[in-house]
Structure 1
Amino acid sequence: MSKAPAKTSADPATALSPQAAGKGDHVFLVDGSSYIFRAYHALPPLNRKSDGLQVNAVLGFCNMLWKLMRDMPADNRPTHLAIIFDKSEITFRNKLYPEYKAHRPPAPDDLIPQFALIRDAVRAFDLPCIEQGGFEADDLIATYVRQACERGASATIVSSDKDLMQLVTDCVVMYDTMKDRRLGIAEVIEKFGVPPEKVVEVQALAGDSVDNVPGVPGIGIKTAAQLITEYGDLESLLNRASEIKQPKRRESLIEHAEKARISRQLVLLDDKVALDVPLDDLAVHEPDARKLIAFLKRMEFTTLTRRVAEYAHIDVADVQAEGEGGSGKPAAKGRGEAGGQGGDLFGDTEQASVAKKKANGTGAHATGPGGKDVLTPMAFAKARAEAARNTPVKRDGYKTIRSHADLDTWIARILDTGHVAFEAKASSIDPMQADIIGIALALGPNDAAYIPFAHRQSGDGAGLFAADLEPDQLKTADALEALKPLLETTGLLKIGFNIKFTAVLLAQHGVTLRNHDDVQLMSYALDAGRNAHGLDALADSWLGHAMLTHGEIIGSGKGKLTYEQVKIERATEYAAEDADVLLRLWTVLKPRLAAEQMNTVYETLERPLISVLARMERRGISIDRQVLSKLSADFAQTAARIESEIKEIAGEDLNIGSPKQLGDVLFGKMGLPGGSKTKTGAWSTSAQVLDELAEQGHEFPRKILDWRQVSKLRSTYTDALPNYVHPQTHRVHTTYALAATTTGRLSSNEPNLQNIPVRTEDGRKIRRAFVASEGHKLVSADYSQIELRLLAEIADIPVLKQAFQDGLDIHAMTASEMFGVPVKDMPAEIRRRAKAINFGIIYGISAFGLANQLGIPREEAGAYIKKYFERFPGIRAYMDATRDFCREHGYVTTLFGRKCHYPEIKASNPSVRAFNERAAINARLQGTAADIIRRAMARMEDALAEKKLSAKMLLQVHDELIFEVPDNEVAATLPVVQHVMQDAPFPAVLLSVPLQVDARAAENWEEAH
């Protein structure tokens, strides 16, 4: 065991004694051993220029530590922090079961030298570096979190390791820094199908091939979860194993009962370790910035070195790299002088962090058809699921198609079958610019093949020219020409996964994909909000099968390959398995759609959008670089001006990006009211704190907010958007995700064009850079107050429904109803308050939130909300009924039958429960609105074509559609667009409240909106 030495009074940087962990503290424990491997595999090879040493894992580790220390939100930052490592020696588990972890492969050669450097990095950050003989890191973590929770503190385990999920409670969460994802009870249930306290029971049955935990042969995670849910715990199950109906499962449980018991002991973490380093010794303290910079310079991490130096106000040139001058220590120049120590690396930050809790569940799937049941849709679905689970995947039977004759044979078989599962493998994740490396096909379980097109020889200097192609491959153009009739015909079903990507990829190569099913969207229609929809997750969940991963195929370290460099034989295993698994999942999920009455949702709201969105993504939208450049310059000048004003008000030169310095000025020097300190002792300068001070009339916090906003607009939008322009089309092409939200809303990525701010003048200016091509206009068509209209409809509020039917100003009408003020000549302030309440009620606004929004006392805001519900009692009744329904069933439904699952609505944690209640209430409205615009999009192109109009749909931004329309067709296009959008619910739903669509045309997006 080793630990960074505590600072003493001899150290001029700071002097401290251990801080007892207790109520209100937050203990972070980093699973160091696991994270080393994750960082190594996640980052491409990176070699230190001075000596060629690979340091990618060290860099990933350092970035993670910096994120924890500096970039975590103020309300979620560690008060105690340690990095826990495994010690390389035998533990008690090896004595219990000698084969435990016996088959683990050795670490990659280029990772081994990084182990010691990572420990050096931890010490450079002045953090405890803990390892203890006889125990794994997981056991130490288990003990620390137990102690933390017993003292009333909360704990975060920085890891995504499934073995640690058994520790998750209301007090303990896990945090995956690479994905910025928090794992709570819901995510554990999503992973294992059982709550955390039952995870060890499931693991004992399923075993773990990586750690060589035996488990019970033939039982995977899903089956184990079902058994534990039914029987309660492992021992009860084993004692009653003779009752199991399935013969193979029953015999396996009886035969391997002792292995299961041993497995439970292996996976159960020891939380009673006699710790060498007490919990109190993990108290966070300010590191020596110079020491850290010296280490980072030694590692040649230029970017991170600069970030630390800039934050600490240290000139990098004043610090020698660790080891320079023979001392191995950084230069001491500047220590103790002004700016010598630098800023507090644990200072406050304004970064918002919204923990998006995924809902979960096991879905409606049984383990067998129920004996002699009548073959109802549900029985048929169950039989399909059982058959799929009981059919092993055998990769060694996959074929490689290398000749036209073989391809012709497969094409004939596909035509005979009437459907085919297929997967295209591309050279990059951007379908607009990727090459097709190969295509996999599947016609039945283990009946799959791979057609390689462009695999290249690997090795130094290989794979650069056409001559480097592996032999015996079909040419891409020839293979696509043969496959094109199959892919384009509507008479043959193509089955894929995230098939929109493939549709865009094929379209770039002249093939239009028609008649397709998407397994991912089937899963989404059935289980949105409760299950993961990734292919690996679905394979594990429904088939009990662990698929080959991309990382296993391409390798790591210096030997890491691109996909096209993978040997064809290996690529065949990988790609054909994808197609094989896709087909199996399709046979499981397709009958579930019918059995669970979700087929209409899939067929009308999901499947039609694939082709529509693929075409929208390929069209893209033009941006005016000059507008963005000018805006960037304007924002820079504005930021500089505001910065100067801030310093003038402060009366000193300060780093505006330093929350610590801002807090010292705000609450120390200026003595403004309402100051509160974070757990680290720094003043909080969160956006909420600054908003409250600004609303009280204080100029300094208002200037800070203005500076932050304009700086973000510049970095996130004006400077970033030009980087997304496609080199051939010269347009920006976003990617839409269909299966991304619980409510059915689409999300936009790379770049996110749904998140451009519109509430401020500066934010709206960015939309001016989105322009129509020459001879065209942009048309923006936007649903007006659609969620309020749906609230009136679904909650059945007569006075609101009548107001919308009469075309009244709904906010003025609400104000009149609430405050007894005539609509005519109503003061703007009264209408503004009613508007805030109208929209706030939809999202479950609190008195505190409304008070902040309107700048009024909380008691007054609470009175407004109370009066609103008294005047419109049907709204409260709707909310209560929706919440109660969700509590009983675990989901709510939209008007079109979409199920939005919120299993955590029964969570024991009050804040989690309240969040899910608000989300469920809003989901019926937001989900119905999302369904309506999906229906409009699915009909739009045919409606335009019927009128012989050339308008092209480019973007969808929640309740808004953006089109590019020829100048001479604008007048004819606007009413068609409005008609399609307004009538989108019909005939499935007949709304009594009319939908209103505002549509305008202009040269740019802002003017059209």
Structure 2
Amino acid sequence: MARNHLYLVDGSSYIFRAYHRLPPLTNPQGVPVGAVYGYTAMLWKLADGLDKAEGPTHLAVILDHSSQSFRNSLYDQYKANRPEPPEDLRPQFPLIRDATRAFSLPCIEMEGYEADDLIASYTVAAQAAGWDVTIVSSDKDLMQLVTPDPKGDEPHVDMLDTMKNVRMGREAVFEKFGVGPELVGDVLALMGDSVDNVPGVRGVGPKTATKLIQEYGSLEAALAGAETMKPSKLRDNLIEHADMARLSRQLVELHRECPLPQPLEELRLDGIPTEPLRDFLLLHGFKSMAARIGGDAPAPAAGAGPNRAAAMGGGVLGEAWQPKGNGSTAPAAPALPEHPAIDRSRYETVTTLDALDRWIAEARAIGHVAIDTETDSLDAITGGLVGVSLSTAPGNGCYIPLGHGGHDLLSEKPEQLPMDVTLARLKPLFADDAVLKIGHNLKYDMAVLAQHGLTITPLDDTLLLSFALDAGQHGHGLDELAKLHLEHQCIAFKEVCGTGKSQISFAEVPLDRATEYAAEDAEVALRLWMLLRHRLWQEGGTKVYEMVDRPLVAAVTAMERRGILVDRETLSRLSGTFSQDMARLEAAIHAEAGGPFTIGSPKQLGEVLFDKLGLKGGRKGKSGDWSTDQSELERLERDGVPIARMILEWRQVAKLKSTYSDALQDQINRVTGRVHTSYSLVGAQTGRLSSTDPNLQNIPIRSETGRQIREAFVAAPGNVLIAADYSQIELRLAAHMADVPQLKAAFAEGADIHSLTAEELFGEVTRDTRAKAKTVNFAILYGISRYGLASRMEISNDEAQAIISRYFERFPGISDYMQRTLEGARERGYTETLFGRKTWFPRINSKNQGERQGAERAAINAPIQGTSADIIKRAMVRMDGALADAGLSSVRMLLQVHDELVFEAPEGLVDAAIPVIRRVMSHAAEPAVTLSVPLDVEVGTGANWGAAH
């Protein structure tokens, strides 16, 4: 007869792990259920999905009854340091109990005892009955209960971490603590626990605690042996804090004789009845789970409202997400919890492995840690790592120096940990799925750490949280957010490193000052996360953050690190050509002006145009100098002034030379041999990515010079570049969002949208009318005025107004959409994309006509351009996985420019890669958003970007 096998689920542990691992979802009633969803999924797997050979015959979920237990009478400071549960987690605790009962599973808790004590008591009782026991948890305290691997028919106890799908027996315990389960309590008593406020012995970390127990055999023996140790700080601490160590041993000891609230036999698992589970799943919007049960789904409870699936990443995560109502202005930030003021003097400089292990253990116990890196360069691809800072709670922080000191042999280096040893310790923590990593602009830190083989997952980025909530309201830099939300002034970089010629590398900053600066950044990021994460679900920012922004960090980091090859010879040759063109234009301009002058000087140019040549219509700025900006020169060009056209052409060639053909040669990375542009995830308030060093967004798209610059971007030998570009995506989105039948039908049939518009506006389709229609199609989406359209089409204002009026008559849906968008922006202060990205327009109701009209034009376009940006970002997030699934991991995404993605592929894999790329891009909006028009993707290939474009 098969032996009974009891599974004891540490429900309290899983609540927090699920909360930090999953997005903050809400159910149709608006109640937070992110942790509930993760917990429910975990229970489902345990009860139904485990291998039946190892699966449970009996199962119970054990929960903490409250934060108080008998241990508080032993030590009144026990768990005193634990922060209050997040506000959006508190309402989920009763729902966790409801979820357990919905599975028809025992949900056990007892006043005065912790879940660990009940688990220990049930474990002892089950062993006495000859049962095997599996404890579903990763809690280090419960490792005291693990028994040796079974011999013959002996019952045994192991642990199961379902988050990592790892079983832990005696060997795993020994690997973690260096001792067997029976001595784990002694190690814990010596090292203490800052999370539960178990005091331990001051200065003793995990490594020293293990060494002492290994050497002396027990806690009491180690304390007794302290008298005979050589004089040292450790000896003094063991003697001075012996009573605290004994108290700590009592605190970590599991109570194994609790009365059992339910007898063992009542814990039998006989399958999961359909009801009431199905009702619970449907009530909270977990439709995918409910569908797996089968049968007709009853309607949700009255008043539940619609339950639109957000379906993050195509899975069931996020299906319960429900957007919130929004006011007319940005909601006020919730009141901050009572945290201590930021005190830089409390930060710790970590220079021993014991201290490092203590911080790592604390991060694992709490389930989150804020991180930041310090480097000797702004170049994340090749910059040297100088140190890492951590923070696990407001009021604490540390800095781990790794590369401080001068770079010559005579320079004195301060005491610091070896980099390889330290990073080997941090690597498992940074990749641990059960510990959330928090940071500000983590893309930079991920690239720096990737040089050493470290990955960061899962993550929350306060830069992106701020952007998802307040795009258009203010900047999103760490210092600005600290001042705005925390009323705290961060140390400026120049305060520690100086400026100009006297500036030093961060590697040369003294450790005490470096600790203050670096640990402050980590703590500030943590505090901002606690505030912004709470706002996210309240203000409806969850959808765009979880489905677009957060997963994009890893995708963009990988893309930046790959870089792209550029041909130095092509660039050099192009610079020579541009120099010749500039010289030719310069001679022609001087001839037209009647003498030489400095064309690049706005002051001299203005004097030539309006004083010397006497051109009419000029305007002067506040300085009293003539304006020679782009718009002024374009006005003169339209008036038929030849010199204006030549100056505009000279300026464009000069800009292309300095920005690209010259600069790109200097931007070839000396280590990788490639150019690595840096993408800003918050560079444009509509959500579009922007790039710098080099800026790839400003290469002219349709000009011959733009094509020549693109030809310098080349594929590596044996490879081909693939350029995949969304075709007319903003027009397609306008057709969907404005619900214009003619445009939707044209896109569905694959018709030429510009020819359709020409027919509607001008009654015929010719080369000229189609070109005009194309201009109108795009100009209208940007809220162009009649004056702007007149200027662009070189027609009168009245003619432009007639075309706009006729356009709106033919496509009234566009006019209605624009009006609705403007009314909504004026009322609420923001617009939204189809994915819920808000863009705020503080000047939309300004009394200043220029400010107001500028905000109105931007507001009209923001939902369309922003949705387009969200879609290509979703494509980027999915692309590497889709290529890998198709066996095409060697096809690599290198660039994103506007509506285009550029890939590098081995020559033999191009034909296989194109359908995958096209499929991912064309379906990127789904399933979160279903469009009524198809997304068409044009794909080209070539040895260089110009040939592929």
Q: Does 1:728 align with 2:671?
A: yes
Task: Give runs of aligned pairs for residues 830-869 of structure 1, distance below 5 A.
Answer: 830-869=769-808
Which residue type is aligned with residue 465 of structure 1? D
* Residues 302-326 of structure 1: per-residue CA shift (max 9 Å, x gap): xxxxxxxxxxxxxxxxxxxxxxxxx
Q: Could you tell me how far apart the structure 1 residues matched to 2:500 and 2:922 are?
A: 56
* Alpha-carbon contact 1:484-1:511 (below 8 Å) kept: yes
Q: How far is the alpha carbon of 1:771 from its aligned partner?
A: 0.8
Inter-CA distance 973–470: structure 2 relative to 1 (3 Å threshold): same
Query: How many angstroms does 1:637 deviate by?
Result: 1.0
Question: What does residue 661 of structure 2 align with?
Answer: 718
What secondary structure sits across from 1:799 in the alignment? helix
Q: Deviations over 1:87-138 (max 9, x none)?
A: xxxxxxxxxxxxxxxxxxxxxxxxxxxxxxxxxxxxxxxxxxxxxxxxxxxx
Residue of structure 1 equivalent to 2:939? 999
Q: How much has 1:1008 moved relative to structure 2?
A: 0.9
Q: What code does the residue aligned with 1:386 have?
A: L
Deviations 1:442-486 (A, max 9, x none): 121223221111222xxxxxx232563433210111111111111
Residue equivalent to 1:495: 438
Mapped contact 2:329–2:829 kept (Cα < 8 A) = no
Q: Give the 3-state SS of the residue equivalent to 1:402 in structure 2.
A: coil
Structure 1 residues 872-896: Cα deviation after superposition (integer angstroms, max 9, x where no partner): 1221111111111111111111001
Q: Is the 1:423–1:439 Cα contact (8 Å) retained in structure 2?
A: yes
The AA in structure 2 aligned to 1:410 is W
Residue identity in the other structure for 1:548: I
- Alignment pair present for 1:404 and 2:390: no
| Alignment CA distance shift 1:665-1:871 (3 Å) | same
SS at match of 2:390: strand
How far the C-alpha of 1:555 sits from its partner, in A, is 4.7
Partner of 1:442: 391
**Which residues in structure 2 correspond to 1:119-138 (within 5 Å)?**
none
1:387 corresponds to 2:387: no
The answer to whether the Cα contact below 8 Å between 1:454 and 1:469 also exists between their aligned partners in 2 is no
Q: 1:651, CA displacement in angstroms?
A: 4.3
The residue aligned with 1:792 is 735
Among residues 866, 889, 897, which one is paired with 1:927 in the alignment? 866
Relative to 1, partners in 2 of residues 1:647 and 1:557: Cα closer, same or farther, differing over 3 Å? closer
C-alpha change, 1:965 and 1:668, in structure 2 (3 Å) is same
Kept in 2, the 8 Å contact 1:795–1:874? The answer is yes
Instruction: Indicate the residue corresponding to 2:686 in structure 1.
Output: 743
Aligned to 1:971: 911
Within-5 A mapping of 1:660-739: 662-663=605-606, 666=609, 674-675=617-618, 684-739=627-682
- For the residue of structure 2 that corresponds to 1:439, the secondary structure is strand
Pairing of 1:106-185 with structure 2 (within 5 A): none
1:666 CA displacement:
4.6
Secondary structure, aligned partner of 1:751: coil
Decide whether the 8 Å contact of 2:719 with 2:906 is kept in 1. yes
The one-letter code sitting in structure 2 at the alignment partner of 1:931 is: D
Structure 1 400/659 Cα, relative in aligned 2: closer, same or farther at 3 Å? closer
Aligned residues: 622
Q: In the alignment, which residue of structure 2 is the partner of 1:568?
A: 511
State the alpha-carbon separation in 2 of the partners of residues 557 and 936 from structure 1. Answer: 42
Residue 725 of structure 2 corresponds to 782
Distance 1:705 1:975 in 2: 42
Question: Any unmatched runs of 5+ in structure 2?
Answer: 1-326
Q: Which residue of 2 aligns with 1:598?
A: 541
Q: 1:364 aligns with which of 331, 336, 339?
A: 331
Segment drifting more, 652-661 vs 930-939: 652-661
Shift in CA distance, 583/688, structure 1 to aligned 2, threshold 3 Å: closer
Letter in 2 for 1:517: D
Q: Is the 8 A contact 2:368 2:438 kept in 1?
A: yes
2:381 counterpart of 1:432? yes
The residue type paired with residue 442 of structure 1 is S
Amino acid across the alignment from 1:401: V
Q: Which moved more, 1:610-619 or 1:643-652?
A: 643-652
Alignment-derived partner of residue 287 in structure 1:
none
Q: 1:754, 1:958 within 8 Å by CA — same for their partners in 2?
A: yes
Question: Residues 525 and 668 of structure 1: is their aligned pair in 2 closer, same or farther, counting only changes over 3 Å?
Answer: closer
Distance 1:644 1:516, change over 3 A: same
Q: Any idea what SS the aligned residue of 2:679 has?
A: strand
Matched residue of 1:468: which SS? coil
**Is the Cα–Cα contact under 8 Å of residues 974 and 1000 in structure 1 kept in the other structure?**
no
Q: 2:399–2:515: 8 Å Cα contact kept in structure 1?
A: yes
Paired with 1:589 and 1:972, the residues of 2 have a C-alpha distance of 43
- The answer to whether the Cα contact below 8 Å between 2:760 and 2:810 also exists between their aligned partners in 1 is yes
User: Structure 1-normalised TM-score?
Assistant: 0.59
Counterparts of 1:401 and 1:675, CA distance in 2: 64
Aligned pair in 2 of structure 1 residues 654, 514: CA closer, same or farther (>3 Å)? same
In 2, Cα distance between the equivalents of 1:753 and 1:637?
24
- CA deviations on 1:2-57 (whole Å, 9 max, x unpaired) are xxxxxxxxxxxxxxxxxxxxxxxxxxxxxxxxxxxxxxxxxxxxxxxxxxxxxxxx
Q: Is the 8 A contact 1:455 1:469 kept in 2?
A: no
**CA spacing shift, 1:869–1:491, aligned 2, 3 Å:** same
Cross-structure match for 1:752: 695
| TM-aligned CA distance change 1:661 to 1:445, over 3 Å | closer
Report if aligned partners of 1:847, 1:861 keep a CA contact under 8 Å in 2. yes
Correspondence list, 1:27-66, <5 A: none
Q: 2:474 aligns with which of 528, 531, 547?
A: 531
3-state SS of paired residue (1:906): coil
Q: 1:553 aligns with which of 496, 501, 508?
A: 496
Distance 1:560 1:946, change over 3 A: closer
Q: CA–CA distance in 2 between the matches of 1:480 and 1:927?
A: 39
Where does residue 986 of structure 1 map in the other structure?
Answer: 926
- Deviation of 1:913 after TM superposition, in Å, equals 0.8
CA contact (8 A) 1:440 1:575 kept: yes
Query: Is the CA contact (8 Å cut-off) linking 1:815 and 1:830 kept in structure 2?
Result: yes
Residue 201 (structure 1) aligns with: none
Please point out which of 692, 706, 711 is paired with 1:768: 711
* Structure 1 segment 180-329 matched on structure 2, within 5 A: none
Distance 2:622 2:358 in 1: 69
Asked if the contact 1:419–1:493 (Cα under 8 Å) also holds between the matched residues in 2, the reply is: yes
C-alpha spacing 1:762/1:670, structure 2 compared with 1 (3 Å): same
Superposed displacement of residue 492, structure 1 = 2.0
CA distance change for structure 1 residues 394 and 998 in 2, over 3 Å: closer, same or farther? Answer: same
In the alignment, what sits opposite 2:884? 945
Counterpart Cα distance in 1 of 2:578 and 2:345: 60
Structure 2 counterpart of 1:900: 839
Contact 1:361 1:903 in 2 (8 A): no
Q: Shift of the alpha carbon at 1:581?
A: 2.0
Over 3 Å counting, the alpha-carbon distance change for 1:654 and 1:436 in structure 2 is closer
Q: CA, structure 1 residues 657+465, in 2 after alignment: closer, same or farther (shift >3 Å)?
A: closer
Q: Deviations over 1:522-579 (max 9, x none)?
A: 1111111113322222222332222222233235688754322222122222222222
Matched, 1:452 2:391: no
Residues 857 and 553 (structure 1), Cα distance of their counterparts in 2 relative to 1, 3 Å cut? same
> Is the contact made by 2:328 and 2:827 (CA closer than 8 Å) also made in structure 1?
no
SS, match of residue 447 in structure 1: coil
SS of the residue 2:939 aligns to: strand
**Cross-structure match for 1:291:** none
Gaps of 5+ in 1: 1-359, 367-381, 457-462
Partner residue, 2:363: 414
Which residue of structure 1 lines up, in the alignment, with residue 521 of structure 2? 578
Tell me which of 465, 468, 485 is aligned to 1:542.
485
Root-mean-square deviation (CA, aligned residues, Å) is 2.2
